[in-house]
């Protein structure tokens, strides 16, 4: 029996519209799984005319699907509590029957956020400073605190005290040791009881439901170009948004992932620092940012905007084994003439068709563009591919040609129903 699973993967620097895609597809799913990242992610979904910004809870919760936060995610207990309380205030049911949290997921504590702030001063990566990177660093340094540790008070206290001895000298400028410990243990008293109701062995749960032929969607946070291994290093996140992250982040064998769908924005954006070959260096960037409402869902920071980069998307297709694409935010290109697609990079008379590993080249390459006529028509209400304006279809088909895979689904607006199939 072939597993009935789909992985939804971002093919750029994140913010591709994965939340809407997962929400759209979740109508036919049973379980939605977040497998990496933390509350540095932000998925904006418009549902019943309301905008919902989700950071940790998978967007399938809006369809009352069963949602899993698996072991590869790092969890800020306070952020999770606030998000669940907010969703409940909006009339969305969340309980131990529809939200499952891995006992092996690692916990973000206040000292991680202070360490993040110090690191950002020197590295200038452009992180959200929510403690994600330092929490993952602790995980791999084998001093991390997992959910199962968090629920055992004596274990938790012992581990915190050991970590404070090592870390406090680095963060003493921010807070006294006494105040820090008080903050940690007061939060623990409140949030450990709250989290406990959702905790289970999510690997066993997922293996069981997949073997029962339940439909499961894996939802990545961030995008391929932010993968710590295959992204624009060091301007990356601290986890694996790529499809390879699913096995590590859930405990599922690779054979349990049956289909991989890539999500690409009809242009390119990135938040924070780092190389961005197709960034638009004119007032057009501001126009595109406003049309696309390109501000970080988590931080509110303005996103940098640029032309569609087929080199970046092809890199993601190759790394993830993507067989089809979803194209989002096409409507945001209205009244921009001409449209451009980057088809190669150039540096010192050498042409590059692959995304370069060298951090020097990533900064210095110049994009080679093909240009296409833009469109002025309002396309939000169009309900089938054939009715799209000619120039819009030409642009879509050019992206397919340069990326080498078919676009099966196209988003024409923020609402879930503003979606057509090709």
Catalytic residues: 15, 43
Q: Which residues 6+ apart lie within 8 Å of 280 measured at CB?
A: 288, 305, 306, 307
Cis peptide before 151 (omega within 30 of 0): no
Beta bridge partners of 346: 351, 366
Task: Give CA–CA dist 68/87, Å, rounded.
Answer: 16
Task: Give CA–CA dist 219/411, Å, rounded.
Answer: 18
Task: Give CA–CA dist 134/137, Å, rounded.
Answer: 5
Task: Give CA–CA dist 290/280, Å, rounded.
Answer: 14
Six-digit token pair at 158? Answer: 């012992």
Q: Are 235 and 273 in contact (CB under 8 A)?
A: yes
Task: Give CA–CA dist 164/175, Å, rounded.
Answer: 12
Taking the mean position of all CA atoms in its chain, how far away is CA 390? 32
Cis peptide before 338 (omega within 30 of 0): yes
Pair type for strands 304-306 and 268-270: antiparallel
Taking the CA atoms of 170, 176, 180 and 183 in sequence, report the sign of the dihedral they define: negative
Taking the mean position of all CA atoms in its chain, how far away is CA 23? 14
- 84-89 long-range Cβ contacts below 8 angstroms, 24+ apart: 84/57, 84/194, 87/52, 87/54, 87/57, 87/61
Q: Which residues 6+ apart lie within 8 Å of 22 measured at CB?
A: 8, 32, 43, 58, 59, 60, 217, 219
Six-digit token pair at 366? Answer: 């110049």
Element of type H or E holding 406: strand 406-411
In order of 46, 77, 164, the CA distances from 190 in angstroms are 31, 9, 20
277: DSSP letter: T
In the numeric block, the tokens 């009244």 are attached to: 335
Q: Are 65 and 32 in contact (CB under 8 A)?
A: yes
């Amino acid at each position: 029996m072939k597993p009935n699973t789909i992985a939804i993967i971002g093919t750029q620097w994140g913010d591709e519209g994965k939340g809407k895609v997962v929400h759209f597809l979740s109508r036919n799913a049973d379980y939605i799984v977040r497998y990496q990242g933390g509350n540095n992610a932000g998925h904006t979904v418009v549902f019943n005319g309301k905008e919902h910004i989700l950071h940790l809870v998978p967007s399938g919760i809006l369809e009352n699907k069963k949602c899993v936060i698996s072991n590869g995610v790092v969890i800020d207990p306070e952020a999770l509590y606030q998000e669940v309380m907010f969703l409940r205030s909006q009339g969305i049911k969340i309980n131990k029957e529809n939200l499952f949290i891995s006992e092996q997921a690692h916990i973000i504590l206040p000292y991680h956020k202070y360490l993040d702030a110090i690191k950002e001063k020197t590295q200038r990566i452009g992180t959200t400073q929510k403690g994600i990177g330092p929490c993952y660093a602790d995980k791999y340094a084998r001093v991390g605190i997992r959910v199962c540790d968090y629920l055992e008070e004596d274990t938790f206290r012992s581990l915190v005290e050991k970590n404070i001895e090592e870390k406090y000298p680095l963060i003493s400028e921010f807070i006294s040791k006494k105040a820090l410990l008080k903050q940690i243990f007061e939060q623990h008293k409140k949030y450990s009881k709250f989290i406990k109701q959702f905790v289970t062995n999510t690997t066993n749960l997922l293996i069981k439901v997949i073997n029962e032929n339940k439909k499961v969607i894996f939802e990545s946070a961030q995008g391929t170009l932010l993968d710590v291994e295959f992204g624009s290093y060091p301007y990356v996140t601290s986890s694996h948004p790529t499809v390879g992250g699913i096995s590590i982040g859930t405990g599922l064998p690779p054979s349990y992932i049956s289909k991989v769908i890539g999500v690409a924005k009809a242009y390119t954006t990135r938040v924070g620092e780092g190389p961005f070959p197709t960034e638009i260096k004119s007032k057009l960037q501001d126009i595109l940012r406003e049309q696309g409402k390109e501000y970080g869902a988590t931080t509110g920071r303005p996103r940098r905007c640029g032309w569609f980069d087929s080199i970046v998307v092809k890199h993601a297709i190759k790394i993830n084994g993507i067989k089809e694409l979803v194209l989002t935010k096409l409507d945001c290109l209205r009244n921009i003439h001409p449209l451009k697609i980057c088809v190669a990079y150039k540096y010192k008379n050498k042409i590059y068709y692959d995304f370069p590993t060298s951090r020097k080249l990533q900064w210095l390459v110049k994009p080679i563009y093909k240009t296409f006529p833009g469109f002025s028509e309002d396309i939000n209400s169009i309900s089938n591919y054939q009715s799209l304006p000619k120039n819009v279809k030409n642009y879509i088909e050019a992206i397919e040609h340069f990326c080498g895979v078919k676009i099966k689904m196209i988003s024409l607006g923020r609402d879930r129903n503003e979606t057509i199939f090709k």
